[in-house]
Structure 1
Amino acid sequence: MATNAELPLAQARPVAVIVQQGRLLDFIDGLTQRNETPEEYVRQEIAKSLVREYQYAKAEIAVECTLAVGSRKPRADLVVFEPGQPHKQERARIIVECKSQKIRSNDRKDGVGQLQSYMAACPNVLYGMWTNGLERFCYKRVDTDGQIEFAEIPDLPTKGRSEDEAERPRFDQLKAASSDALLFAFRRCHNYIAGNQGLQKPEAFWELLKLIFCKIHDERNSDEVQFFATSVERHSLNGQIKAKQRISGLFDEVKAEYNTIFRDNEAIDLNGEVLTYIVSQLQMYSLLESDIDVKGRAYEEIVGSNLRGDRGEFFTPRNICKMAVQMLDPGEKQLIIDPACGTGGFLITAMNHVIEKIRAAETEKWGGNLSRAEEAIRSRVAKYAQGCIVGTDLNPNLVKAAKMNMVMNNDGAGGLYQANALQSPARWEDALRNRQIIGQIDLLFTNPPFGSKIPIDDPAILEAYDLGHAWSYDAGADTWSMQTGIQKSQPPEILFIERCIKLLKPGTGRCAMVLPDGILGSPGLGYVREWILKHTRVLASIDLHADTFQPHVSVQTSVLVLQRKTPEEIAVEAAAGRFNDYQVFMAVANHIGHDKRGNVTYVRDRQGNEIVEEIEEHAIEYQDGQKVLKRQRTQKKVIDDNTLQIAQAFRSWLSEQD
């Protein structure tokens, strides 16, 4: 199976659609404005899946379709009809009921029984789905001697394909996840493991991680799909044993390939019922070909709810990662590092930025021959990801999660190491130490752990840093000088500044660091700023909105972009007794796309109505077993986020400076 990177979008074009506050635009007809409720959110995401993943045409789908059920006339959330047929009850083929997360599947009024009553009332309905975003149940209607029964199945069939193909799909039938469908699936699986295996949620996360690895390994290495569980296997003891043996075989191969992540004696610690359910919920997707942002959003939510620690660890929002990466615009031959990589957000964003360049070059080179282009893309991407991506983190669980994230997003996991980046390189593991990265890094992106609650007080570490020493201030000369003694302790972010600069190539190495504003303005930290000015040229300072890291933590931060000076440049300025003057790019990221509760914010007109734009997307689909690129137009609300505008403005400014 081919790896997939996010495809370029055409230039967005605004259309004359204004969405009133508290409303959203219906995905199916593109005109109706519906109340923005939790239930409506689920319905709209499932509607997108029916079109984008299951390949049903919008014209074949009705929203809030009135049905005659006895003397009642309820409205079904989504009904799929036969192609080219009128939207009448006797022509319905699939019914989908969507609920808010508060409604459970066993609810007497709104649970799966409601869906089944709708299916029973429609003579030609074959399939149904009930979901609240966390739980999902799919059924096939079975008529036997006048008796109607409902057999649970793993998934709805894709348009034009049989139920058997959904039971055990072929690789060319796997669907790239769109919108929040994968997020729903990961939530559903995580909660199901926790609720039915008796595990705490962090333990459930690691079991889910094992199965995601198996899924990706199957997509990459198997000739036929092995990651599947049929309905028969789910509901019989013998079938569960058979499925577990098959998936355990995949996990043995995973352990052999990723022996730095999994131990030899590790096993999938799930009973047959739970295992087959999880496999059935993931088997229809192609994780490798799913959109980068879709996978990132789904994975980050599951990781974030399980691995947040007490060491100042909070994960950088994707838009800030994208802003920093686009500002420094990495290339294929540049060595990139994040010395406090967490789950790998910066590294994955940088890696996929380069992969897009590779993809564009090879696609242009090979024209319409997608197979030849993807073969060349795979070769270049593998070489780049293994040779040019380096990440370290002190938390071994975060490193493990980052490796998983890398594997799911075009790999590069071989360059991730568990290490204390602030320690002497002599104490790093051999594989990392042998790379000799000090002074060799082209580009560095990082959001180091912050805070006085996690001080660095090891004298062996402090004495190795200029910023670990005590400093004195000369008010008359307005200068700071380093003393021989060391500090009792230092917040880690201060030492990370020095380590990051020393990692860069002198003269050309550049970095983008997220730092607390105290470093940039606190009077007592003037020596830190003077050290920065002595050893680097400040390219940019971006003031981030106070809500950037909400709803997880409230901290005022900036992104500082620096370029390391050469020893000669430092010596010249020292001899002159002053720093050279130069221009610095400054901006305020006062629109970051969400509020302090984490809710997405959108651009509004003067009346407070939300603005919608029409964009053209490219999607990979299959025709006669061959990959083809298809264009589709869709309407989306404009997210109130100016971070990418800042990146574009910086690139323009930097080209003038260079």
Structure 2
Amino acid sequence: PRGSKEAHGFSRCEYHRVKQQFPQIFETNDEIKLQPRSLAWIVSEFQSYSLLETHVDVKGKAYEELVGANLRGDRGEFFTPRNIMRMAVEMVNPKPEEKVCDTSCGTGGFLVTAMNHIIEQLKREVADDFGLGEIEWSDYQKSVVRDRIKQIAASDFYGFDINPDLVKATKMNMVMNNDGSGNIYRNDSLLPPHEWSQELKQELADALKIQAEIITNTDSIAFFDVIVTNPPFGSDIPIKDTHVLEQFDIGHIWRKNVGTGWAISDTFQTSVPPEQLFIERCLQFLKPDGRLAIVLPDSILGNPGLGHIRQWLLEKTRIVASVDLHADAFQPRNGTQTSVLILQKKTQEEINEERYARQITPYNIFMAMVEKVGHDRRGNTLFKRDKDGNEVWVPEENTSPINYRNAEGAIVDVQTERKTRVIDDQSRDIPQLFADWKREEGIGW
């Protein structure tokens, strides 16, 4: 039909324009391969929606469900639920001007969540400067904020993933959400820095405003203030290469000595699950005092045979928080019991002082258990119920008035109240509890 051919032609022209606008995402030879009839149907389905005005969370959720489902591989990739990402980002609290990274970025959920977190802070700061709420900003003031957001996305957000399709997906996710693709690179984050491609080193150096020549080993990659990540994990994807293991203390065999704890040996392990090495790599990527939010299997926190990792963490970091997640947190795709750790990298001076004193300076740790994650093991949404078992309904926020013609024939606005069910999700409460605890502990970030 003529309409199908016109839609196909228009879409091809628009796609060509988008490819030129975002060459960092699309290859020059990429083409739309759908038949005209199929493309016309898709266009008609999307016609009634405005992606530019859609709430970011809805857009990101839809994108990750549609794209992520087709890109999941067999390398331990189980993308983090959005409520857990939001909890982790709010707890680690990245701020404007801080460099943020995800070392296993997947489709970019953590980076988008972190960027939105910083944008909200930026908007509050700008609103205070303007003395106006966001809804009252002029077009000029809005353009100032948009330019600042683009600048932040271009200079402060970084991601690595070994999967080229996921790298492209992350870039597109960043563009869809806040018009900035960030600095997303295809790279095996566990490779020794001297094996990184020269192109990667140069691009990374340009973005960080450093010299590419200094990127040589694990002591030269402390680039970031905040890392938020969920590394691939599982014993079925072990790291066995000695040239990779030799970069890491955790890649060595450790032996337990009575009375003195664990001691590292010169011998390398035959294989190590990747999540264990990612802990150390993330800390290598962090600046001193940098903050890490990482999703890890509970075996690292409780397995007696992994006591050397816990000892190493206590020596190298301050364990700020440990949040135990319900077993259904990653369901329906994965039932591994996991936790979110919030760590702060110690400075070398702090490490040296504690070694000299032969003891770790005592401190408090925030600990919590999330027993309800908003869905069951089949992925069905769960809602809060009262003591009688009835679902709890609350008024929706920001409901718009409706037009109503009264008895005199005049059209008036009538404020209505719509109600919605409350998702039974305790992860939403953790950030505020953590913020209150931080104030009591005198933690400034």
TM > 0.5? yes
Match of 1:595 among 376, 383, 391: 376
2:281 is aligned to 499
Cα 1:632–1:417 change in 2 (3 A) is: farther
Match of 2:247 among 464, 484, 500: 464
2:176 is the counterpart of 1:408: yes
Determine the C-alpha separation between the residues in 1 that align with 2:56 and 2:152: 18
Letter in 1 for 2:153: A
1:411 Cα deviation from its structure 2 partner: 3.2
Match of 1:606 among 376, 387, 390: 387
1:327 Cα deviation from its structure 2 partner: 0.9
Q: Any idea what SS the aligned residue of 1:416 has?
A: strand
1:632 Cα deviation from its structure 2 partner: 7.9
1:267 is aligned to 31
Q: For 1:139-171, what per-residue CA distance to the aligned partner results, in whole angstroms no more than 9, with x for missing partners?
A: xxxxxxxxxxxxxxxxxxxxxxxxxxxxxxxxx
Match of 1:374 among 142, 145, 149: 142
1:634 Cα deviation from its structure 2 partner: 3.3
Q: Which runs of 5+ in 1 are unaligned?
A: 1-234, 620-630
Question: What TM-score results when the alignment is normalised by the length of structure 1?
Answer: 0.60
1:324 Cα deviation from its structure 2 partner: 0.8
2:401 is the counterpart of 1:637: no
Aligned pairs for 1:475-494 (under 5 A) are 475-477=258-260, 479-494=261-276
1:586 Cα deviation from its structure 2 partner: 0.4
Determine the C-alpha separation between the residues in 1 that align with 2:306 and 2:334: 23
Tell me, yes or no, if the aligned pair for 1:549 and 1:555 is still in contact at 8 Å: yes
Q: For 1:2-48, what per-residue CA distance to the aligned partner results, in whole angstroms no more than 9, with x for missing partners?
A: xxxxxxxxxxxxxxxxxxxxxxxxxxxxxxxxxxxxxxxxxxxxxxx
2:120 is the counterpart of 1:356: yes
Tell me, yes or no, if the aligned pair for 1:463 and 1:469 is still in contact at 8 Å: yes
1:40 is aligned to none
Determine the C-alpha separation between the residues in 1 that align with 2:416 and 2:250: 54
Tell me, yes or no, if the aligned pair for 1:362 and 1:373 is still in contact at 8 Å: no
Q: For 1:576-611, what per-residue CA distance to the aligned partner results, in whole angstroms no more than 9, with x for missing partners?
A: 111111000000011111111111111111221100
Aligned pairs for 1:618-657 (under 5 A) are 634-657=418-441
1:463 Cα deviation from its structure 2 partner: 0.6
Letter in 1 for 2:309: V
Match of 2:104 among 336, 340, 362: 340
Tell me, yes or no, if the aligned pair for 1:288 and 1:410 is still in contact at 8 Å: no
Cα 1:366–1:376 change in 2 (3 A) is: farther
2:222 is the counterpart of 1:439: yes
1:454 is aligned to 237
Cα 1:550–1:443 change in 2 (3 A) is: same
Determine the C-alpha separation between the residues in 2 that align with 1:647 and 1:518: 24
Determine the C-alpha separation between the residues in 2 that align with 1:299 and 1:261: 16
Question: What TM-score results when the alignment is normalised by the length of structure 2?
Answer: 0.88
2:14 is the counterpart of 1:242: no
Tell me, yes or no, if the aligned pair for 1:366 and 1:372 is still in contact at 8 Å: no
Determine the C-alpha separation between the residues in 1 that align with 2:337 and 2:278: 18
Tell me, yes or no, if the aligned pair for 1:511 and 1:562 is still in contact at 8 Å: yes
2:347 is aligned to 566
Q: Any idea what SS the aligned residue of 2:262 has?
A: strand
Match of 1:530 among 289, 311, 332: 311
Q: Any idea what SS the aligned residue of 1:616 has?
A: coil
Determine the C-alpha separation between the residues in 2 that align with 1:407 and 1:655: 35
1:389 is aligned to 157
1:529 Cα deviation from its structure 2 partner: 0.7
Letter in 2 for 1:532: L
Determine the C-alpha separation between the residues in 2 that align with 1:382 and 1:304: 25
Determine the C-alpha separation between the residues in 1 that align with 2:131 and 2:275: 46
Match of 1:575 among 345, 349, 356: 356
Higher mean C-alpha deviation, range 327-336 or range 528-537: 327-336
Cα 1:433–1:373 change in 2 (3 A) is: closer
Determine the C-alpha separation between the residues in 2 that align with 1:464 and 1:535: 16
1:372 Cα deviation from its structure 2 partner: 3.0
Q: Which runs of 5+ in 2 are unaligned?
A: 211-219, 401-414
Determine the C-alpha separation between the residues in 1 that align with 2:179 and 2:156: 12
Tell me, yes or no, if the aligned pair for 2:317 and 2:343 is still in contact at 8 Å: yes
Q: Any idea what SS the aligned residue of 1:442 has?
A: strand
Letter in 1 for 2:344: Q
Q: Any idea what SS the aligned residue of 1:289 has?
A: coil
Aligned pairs for 1:59-98 (under 5 A) are none
1:328 Cα deviation from its structure 2 partner: 1.8
Cα 1:315–1:577 change in 2 (3 A) is: same
> Matched residue pairs, number?
409
Cα 1:597–1:645 change in 2 (3 A) is: same
Determine the C-alpha separation between the residues in 1 that align with 2:416 and 2:192: 53
Match of 1:553 among 305, 320, 334: 334
Letter in 2 for 1:333: E
Determine the C-alpha separation between the residues in 2 that align with 1:444 and 1:458: 25
Tell me, yes or no, if the aligned pair for 1:441 and 1:504 is still in contact at 8 Å: yes
Of structures 1 and 2, the larger Rg is shown by 1
Tell me, yes or no, if the aligned pair for 1:425 and 1:433 is still in contact at 8 Å: no
Q: CA RMSD in A?
A: 1.8
Tell me, yes or no, if the aligned pair for 2:246 and 2:268 is still in contact at 8 Å: yes
Determine the C-alpha separation between the residues in 2 that align with 1:372 and 1:402: 30
1:466 Cα deviation from its structure 2 partner: 0.9
Q: For 1:58-95, what per-residue CA distance to the aligned partner results, in whole angstroms no more than 9, with x for missing partners?
A: xxxxxxxxxxxxxxxxxxxxxxxxxxxxxxxxxxxxxx
Letter in 2 for 1:647: P
Q: Any idea what SS the aligned residue of 1:509 has?
A: strand
- Identical columns (%): 47
1:615 Cα deviation from its structure 2 partner: 2.9
Tell me, yes or no, if the aligned pair for 1:616 and 1:632 is still in contact at 8 Å: no
Determine the C-alpha separation between the residues in 1 that align with 2:31 and 2:399: 40
Tell me, yes or no, if the aligned pair for 1:389 and 1:412 is still in contact at 8 Å: no
1:657 Cα deviation from its structure 2 partner: 1.6
2:90 is the counterpart of 1:326: yes
Runs of 4 or more consecutive aligned structure 1 residues displaced over 4 Å after TM superposition: none
1:644 Cα deviation from its structure 2 partner: 2.1
Letter in 1 for 2:342: V
Q: Any idea what SS the aligned residue of 1:296 has?
A: helix
Q: For 1:590-644, what per-residue CA distance to the aligned partner results, in whole angstroms no more than 9, with x for missing partners?
A: 111111111111111122110011132278xxxxxxxxxxx98531111111112
1:551 Cα deviation from its structure 2 partner: 0.6
Q: Any idea what SS the aligned residue of 1:505 has?
A: strand
